[in-house]
Chain A
Amino acid sequence: MEQPLLNRSEIVVLQPSSLKESLKLLNENPDAEIIANASDLWPRIRNGEVKPKKLLDISGLAGELSYVKKDENLIKIGALVTVSQLEGESILKEKRFSGFKDVIAKFGSPQIRNVATIGGNVCAASSSEDFIPLLLAFNAKVKLSSVDGERYVNLEKFIIGKRKINRRPNEILTEISFEDPGEGYSSAFEKIGRRNTLIINIVNMAVVGKVKDGKIEDVRIAANRIKGKIPERAKNTEEFLKGKALNEETIAGAKKVLSEEVSLTDDFRASAEYRKALLLAMLERLLFKLRGEQ
């Protein structure tokens, strides 16, 4: 195997100024690591955890990939939209998108929010990335662009392991999109860590759903960890909840399903047992939030 590059001053930096140029460069340099605003990757390069020979810096594409728009019934978010930009987006201020507000409030720190991009968050593909569960709950897709064209992959299929994504070497994640669930839906997100902010979560959970006349018409639930070490949907729990009345009994049942569905692990931040207890408590709170309660 080729030796990884030790001397980081020898890294070749490619700085395209358009998407077209980026795709071409990446096609010619498929071994390049892509960096956007680099808040996640840069420290890991600096400490030698990642040893790239080449970097493709796509931050110059902000003009092209920093949009949030509604196209037909699809909400489309350009990969380079920063967390702070999302905060100001009027589309996302609708009640059904209030999960975004919840994530933003708990995301990193104010300074990190000014540079961290949604595309970077998704590509980091770890349980500490707080946007992933929310986007999973919105059934998001990612758009992967390359010189060969574009393809769409469900986010669920895109994240295949801890820091592992289903991206071909010549592809760039350019957009995240999901269907606007429409009126009557709402969303919420919660995160618990060892301090109130600037913190890697112990657990987080996002819920998107519709409760009408006390009945759960639709619901999607995702958390940073369900079975493995990456964010996933809690599909058994969702199935259990669909069509049921939102009441204490249903929630008690859903907690039981969720607790059977999850398989968590210990680390120094928290034990599996405690993570589970928190997830169950969150499930209850978030479901009640769907109904518009605290």
Chain B
Amino acid sequence: MAQMLVKLNVNGIEREVLVDPDDRLLDVLRDEFGYKSVKEGCGTGDCGLCTVLMDGKPVLSCVIPAFQAKNHKITTLEGLNNDPLMKKIQEQFRAHQAAQCGFCTPAMEIIGWHLLSRKKGASKQEIKEAISGTLCRCTGYYDIIDAIYDAGRPE
């Protein structure tokens, strides 16, 4: 089959892109839109590093066919970099040295943002649950949990 023309809405920008039937949302976000914050850690839906928001909910862009992303609103970290809450989260990630190798950082920040934007002042247990599908091999999670926790507290 020929390529498919898919209209995507990513970070508020609507664009039609040609995709192969076997392209993943991850591929389109990285290669067509250039949003490189979206990482591939496993390609099989087992590590959480490719997390983006689809219609406001965290999903794994490596297990979503590109053609299924039409009619959905996709948000990557690049689309949130100017958001005040995200800036606060990023500031706390730096303060806590929660970004070691940094490869899981965009996914962790997006999940933190999603949690805190729904629930300001989320507890550490809630944070642990929210990031439980996203693997980090460097930090042992503690500094990430603390960073999100502190970003959710009043200043």
Contacts and interface: CB of A to CB of B under 8 A. Distances in A.
Contact of A115 (B4, B59, B129, B130): B59
Contact count band on A: 20 to 34
Contact of B68 (A9, A45, A57, A197): A57
Interface string A42-55: 11011100000001
A66 B130 CA distance: 24
B144 to A, nearest CB: 15
Nearest to B135: A198
Nearest to B23: A9
Contacts of A55: 21
Contact of B59 (A35, A42, A111): A111
A260 B93 CA distance: 54
Interface residues of B, number: 31
B132 A198 contact: yes
Interface string A97-108: 000000000001
B113 interface: no
A42 B65 contact: yes
B112 interface: no
A13 B21 contact: yes
B43 interface: yes
Nearest to B62: A43
Secondary structure type dominating chain A contacts: mixed
Nearest to A9: B20
Contacts of A46: 22, 24, 43
A111 B68 CA distance: 16
B64 A38 contact: yes
Interface in B1-25: 1, 3-4, 20-22, 24
B132 A43 contact: no
Interface of A: 8-13, 15, 35, 37-39, 42-43, 45-47, 55, 57, 59-60, 84, 108-112, 114-115, 196-198
Interface of B: 1, 3-4, 20-22, 24, 43-46, 48, 51, 54, 57-60, 62-65, 67-68, 71, 111, 129-130, 132-134
